[in-house]
Amino acid sequence: MQKTSASILFDNKAIVPKEFNKIAEKYDFATRMSQGYQDDLNRSGSLLTLKGDETVIDLCCGTGKSTVSFLSRITSGKVFCVDNSEGMLAVAQDKFSKEIAAGKVEISLQDAMHLNFAPESVDAIFMAYGLRNMPDYDLCIENLFRILKPGGQLVIHDYSLANSWYAKPLWFVLSYGFIVPFCTLISGSATIYTYLAKSVLNFLNPDQLKELLLSKGFTGISIVQHASWRRLFFHSFHAIKK
């Protein structure tokens, strides 16, 4: 049987960023149509305890909607907006042109599995909708632990289906019945959203992700559910490097 484009993406996640290039210009519009999208990001961004002078990586930043969730609390520090999609970063670069000129934000095209940051050089990492797209969850978390300073913070914001028997069936109906057709209409591409539906069904649940973080040396892990119907599908994780 011939594989669909979404199945090819799922089997080879290294090419996912290139698929995001195709929808970059319409991504912000599509997510504005999603109830609570920015509110959820803001809630996750608020989990970062920041004084303002930190070096923060917004990993898999996309168009920078995740960066907005904490950027105002960085004063003398710096935010590295890191993504492996040139198209998404181009939107972020336009969005943060003033902050880039002031040296507060730096746009960086990098593969999240092979980050070019020195060990123990970063105060905090915010990763929204990113870990699920990594080909190796374990290795990714190990790499993030390596570049964080002792006491550094990691916040992961992602689809992580609740530990209940009905979460997966409901996500299947919601994703294939609404998200895929609606976002395909808005963006003109079905592939990345069909991949989204499948990748969420196969991602770690909250307990599994917590155990992964613990196994890699993180501590003080807290899990936050999001509001309304989204509490079944979205969770945020705050962890500290020992």
Percent of the chain exceeding pLDDT 70 equals 99
According to the model, what pLDDT value does residue 2 have?
Answer: 54
Give the mean model confidence (pLDDT) for residues 30-40: 89
Phi-psi group of 228: left, alpha or beta (phi > 0 → left; psi -120 to 50 → alpha; rest → beta): left
What pLDDT score does 35 carry?
A: 83
First-residue to last-residue Cα distance in the chain: 48
Alpha-carbon gap, residue 33 to 52, rounded angstroms: 31
Vertex 55 angle, CA 159 and 85, to 5°:
50
The predicted model scores a pTM of 0.95
Tell me what the mean pLDDT of segment 179-197 comes to: 90
* pLDDT value, residue 242: 86
Per-residue DSSP letters for 127-144? EES-GGG-S-HHHHHHHH
Predicted confidence at residue 1, as pLDDT, reads: 52
pLDDT digits over 100-110, tens only?
999 999 999 99
The alpha-carbon radius of gyration of the chain (Å, integer) is 17
**Residue 96 above 90 pLDDT?**
yes
**Signed CA dihedral, 181, 182, 183, 188: sign only:** positive
Going along the chain from its start, the domains and CATH numbers come out as 5-241 (3.40.50.150)
What average pLDDT does range 33-59 have in this prediction?
95
Q: At what angle do helices 191-201 and 167-174 cross, to 10 degrees?
A: 180
218-225 β-sheet, strand order: 105-109, 78-83, 55-59, 122-128, 148-159, 234-241, 218-225
Mean of the per-residue pLDDT values for the chain? 95
